[in-house]
A and B are shown apart, each in its own frame.
Chain A
Amino acid sequence: MSETSAPLSIPWLVKRQNDALLWTLLAGLAILPLLVSSPNLIRLLFMTFLWVTTSVAWNLIGGFAGQVSFGFAVFYGIGAYTTALAMNAGVNPWSAFLGSAITAAVASLIVGLPTFRLRGPYFAIATIGISEAVRVVMTNLSFTGGASGYRIVEHCAFRQLEHYYAALVLAFIAAAISIFISRTRFGLGLNAIRQDEDAAADLGVNPFAYKLGSHALAAALTGMAGGVFARYAAFIHPQGVFGFHTSVHILLMPVIGGIATVWGPVLGGVVFGIVEEEIIASFPEIHLLIYGALLILIILAEPGGILGAFRKLYRRLHGKHAG
């Protein structure tokens, strides 16, 4: 998207010429564990990569397409439990992750088919209802352990780096998909749907199909993130992976970082991952409070999030140009 149409992007970051920067970043993150040996840092980065994944994923449907879901934890949880069940049944982790993507995508169709004809807040409310319903059911389902949770038993040693690279690759795939979509016809169509669904349809865009498509992509990525998390944690329970606060986190990150942009969700995921891990350690009760206050501040002061604030600053420093 050109500079003016992605009003909240940092122009020099989305130009194709700067893809090289991204590859450099990826390489840097890939080599990092070999240079620094701090299990805490690796764990922090691992969680950050997962958050970046869910953040970018949610943004595909909630940002690009404008369909704000308050219940994305349902796909995270489905992915988590799919991987857990599959691995305990003997499936290798990588196939399990793929399985998580598939079950989450299928679930997204089941959710989307009836709900995507709802507009705005009705859709948001429906997603809360669905996610909570699934959580309650899972809490009562005995064969997955119910409220007591479910354990993954892996008959090999815990290799932290394997998890690190899995999460890194996943985050990279998510970001790549997001960048790719923003540059193609699909992205333009989603953008049109976000701004004015009916006008988009009047020009030949099939809103229903497009919403379902981006929803499925978003769910698949989120499901995989849930699966990767499940394997790492080796123990999951409905209150956590299906929890409402998980849906909250997933949606907070892109909003804080800059909704409907390519890099906003990444920024949001990074900020969230780092801050979350630090805050949770020191002030366990306050972190949601801070996020709530931040959300209010963002909505009232700078709806474009951190990225939006950066862009305004950038404009002010460089003077107005091309628009």
Chain B
Amino acid sequence: MTLIDFVNLVISALLLAGIYAVMSVGMTVIYGVMKIVNLAHAGFMMMGAYLALELFERFHLDPILAALVVFPVMFVVGRTIHWLLARWLPSSDQPTLPSLLLMFGLWLVLQNLGYLIWGNTDRSIYTSHTLSILRFGSVTISSVRLVVFIAAVACMGIIQIILNHTWFGRSVRALIQNRYAGQIVGVDAEKTASVTFGLGIAFAGLAGALLASLYSFNPDFGRPFLIRAFVIIVLGGLESISGVAIGALVLAFVETFSILIVPAGYQLAISYGLLVLVLIFLPGGIAALTAKVHRLA
């Protein structure tokens, strides 16, 4: 393998990591604040993708711009779902079986609504940019991927700003660490949870819309991404936003470079296998590993 090939692979992996990170951040934030494992995440990604599709086909809106529209729409959807369903779940500092099953049921509903409305044939969004390639010397990058990556990084940046420099962000961090204590010092848990849920769903939809410009999709396309999101947030330590970035990088690199070793059909199995391995050997994620190393040092 030549140096150029290697560089191309690395860039590929980096770009992939960006989109993976955005995809997982929504799930992390919901889990951190409400201890709900959002199995319906895939369903909301699907919604985002199909919303982008509709916007593209009816209004000829470029998918990247469509993503900007999808975000607030999905935010409203998220808060509505929280109001309708999620707020009835018993709050706990441990994930509960009812929450798991509820989100699972929601995912089934969303996915099959998708099948009903849009059918099960693969759809995709082709714009004039879809196939354009940028060249830097002998290194080639798909321009759509690059734009998506930039959008993803921007999102992560915005989240960091929100979390670290706003009152809301501080409330979120307080609830993540200790829900009870957060309430005692004046955090409105209900409202914060509702907004967080909305944000989580909004990011899921956004990720879906961005992904729609990269891949073809059907209502079930969320599932492999859901599992990838699990890998990422477990790798990242389940409650840490920066951990998500680490997890996304690890997964993206493992997936990209595994093409060299295994035939393409098995690639998904590698991701799934990685998930199981991480759950078993690194339950605290890489964050716990680095913390341990830090302590020993």
Interface residues of A (CB under 8 A from B): 66, 68, 70, 114-115, 117-118, 120-122, 124-126, 128-130, 132-133, 136-137, 139-140, 244, 248, 255, 285-286, 288-289, 291-296, 299-300, 303
Contacts and interface: CB of A to CB of B under 8 A. Distances in A.
* Residue among B94, B102, B111 facing the most chain A CB atoms (10 A cut-off): B102
Contacts of B268: 132-133, 136
Interface size class of B (residues with CB under 8 A): 35 or more
A114 B94 CA distance: 21
B170 interface: no
Given A125-B275, A130-B276, A292 B116 contact: no
Contacts of A122: 234, 279, 283
Contact of A120 (B88, B94, B223, B273): B94
B85 to A, nearest CB: 7
A124 B37 CA distance: 10
Contacts of B109: 289, 292-293, 296
A120 B97 CA distance: 7
Contacts of B101: 68, 255, 295, 299
Contact of A125 (B88, B112, B230): B230
Interface string B45-86: 000000000000000000000000000000000000000010
A121 B273 CA distance: 17
A295 B99 CA distance: 11
Contacts of A136: 265-266, 268-269, 272
A200 B276 CA distance: 27
Interface string B218-234: 00000100010010001
A69 B98 CA distance: 14
B153 to A, nearest CB: 27
B174 interface: no
A244 B220 CA distance: 11
A6 B233 CA distance: 37
Nearest to A244: B223
B100 A126 contact: no
B108 interface: yes
A118 B102 contact: no
A291 to B, nearest CB: 6
Contact of B266 (A118, A126, A140, A300): A140
A68 to B, nearest CB: 6
B6 interface: no
Contacts, number: 117
A296 B106 contact: yes
Given A114-B280, A288-B108, 4 more contacts: A286-B112, A292-B109, A292-B112, A296-B106
Nearest to A300: B88
A294 B110 CA distance: 13
B105 interface: yes
Contacts of A291: 105, 108
B266 A125 contact: no
Given A68-B100, A121-B100, A286-B112, A294 B105 contact: yes
Contact of B279 (A118, A244, A289, A300): A118
B215 interface: no
Contacts of B147: none
A133 B273 contact: yes
Contacts of A133: 268-269, 272-273, 276
Nearest to A288: B112
B104 A295 contact: yes
A286 B102 CA distance: 18
B115 interface: yes
Q: Can you list the 4 inter-chain pairs with the closest CB atoms, starting with the nearest?
A: A292-B108, A295-B105, A133-B272, A289-B112
B95 interface: yes
A125 B279 contact: yes
Contacts of A248: 108
B107 interface: yes
B186 interface: no
Interface in B128-148: none
A130 B230 CA distance: 13
